[in-house]
Amino acid sequence: MNNGERSVLIEDLVKRFGDFTAVDHINLETHQGEIFGFLGPNGAGKSTTIRMLCGLLRPTSGRAVVAGFDVARQPEAVRQHIGYMSQKFSLYNDLKVIENLRLFAGLYNVPHNVVQERIGWAVEMADLKGQEGMITSTLPGGWKQRLALGCAVLHRPPIIFLDEPTSGVDPISRRQFWDVIHQMSADGVTVFVTTHYMEEAEYCNRLALIYRGKMVALGTPTELKQKFMTGELLLLECEPLGPAVEALQSAPHVLDAAVFGNALHLVVRKAATSIPDIRAFLGTRGVTVSRIEPIRPSLEDVFVSLTTERDAAREETN
């Protein structure tokens, strides 16, 4: 990642729809070649922020500068210098792969003398060589997503916005898609990506955790996992799970308890001293502990911890 030239600047960005605040005073900046992720649940404000940065929605207040252009005052200039891939597949299903590429080359005003070179580059990048004559509707989901990305970057924009780009795509295709994103980043393209897949967020250079329209944390995946856990984390496997969760809400050593698959993740102040006390606490309530041990927090643990704190503070003020 190149930390030199600034590509996006956001200052106190706000978007309201009537009485509802979808984006609430977001501040950040990104640099050339950075893969920057917006991580958060559906309805958190990620897509609304992206649409403002693309010049598709006018901010209620605040300021955003993308590729040197103000999104409120120069939305057309912004759109000429970015690529945008929406959540929904936006290509023409009844056209062939090559026809979609030619169409988007025209829409993006790609100079006639470089159209063939750009299309060849996009086909190579999206790993679609030999598939140019296929009808787009017959492509597997992962191939469609790579084709959509190829179309979005035909004009070689310095910044690309990807809104939930791998939603509904199988894990192997998702990984292949991210290989393409890293290739673009290595070429100096700034990539903005929204996702609610926690494991996918690990591929980003930096992340903003978005919740209820606010940015609740900002940093690299490693920084977020180191900074924002209030305590230490335990993995607990036990039976029965439901009563264990309920009992642990009142356990003196447990700051938070959440279900993760067939186990629980517990936030405690000190793992070493809490483990025997939690075993004893659950034993008196008929819960059998098969495994309890310290683990490293994941981004999902960080997000759950941060949002739980926010919700608790919100309830206290209401």
pLDDT at 40 over 80: yes
Which pLDDT tens digit goes with each residue over 162-188? 988 877 777 887 888 888 899 899 999
Is the pLDDT at 20 greater than 90? The verdict is: yes
Show the DSSP H helices in 187-287 as ranges: 198-201, 221-227, 241-248, 271-283
- pLDDT tens-digit series, residues 87-119: 666 788 999 999 999 999 998 889 999 999 999
**Collapsed DSSP state (helix, strand, coil) of residue 184:** helix
Q: Return the higher-pLDDT residue of 61 and 298.
A: 61
Q: What is the pTM of this model?
A: 0.81
Q: What is the mean pLDDT of residues 55-64?
A: 96
Sheet holding 6-17, edge to edge: 20-31, 6-17, 61-66, 69-70
CATH level 3 topology of 6-223: Rossmann fold (3.40.50)
> Residues 278, 265: contact at Cβ < 8 Å?
no
The CATH number of the domain covering residues in 230-296: 3.30.70.100
Residue 245 tokens read as 């969760």
Question: Measured between alpha carbons, how far is residue 229 from residues 268, 305, 306 in Å?
Answer: 10, 7, 8
CB 213 within 8 A of CB 47: no
Instruction: Tell me the domain boundaries of the chain.
Output: 6-223, 230-296
Residues 136 and 96: beta-carbon distance below 8 Å: yes
- Burial (CB < 10 A; 0-12, 13-18, 19+), residue 64, is buried
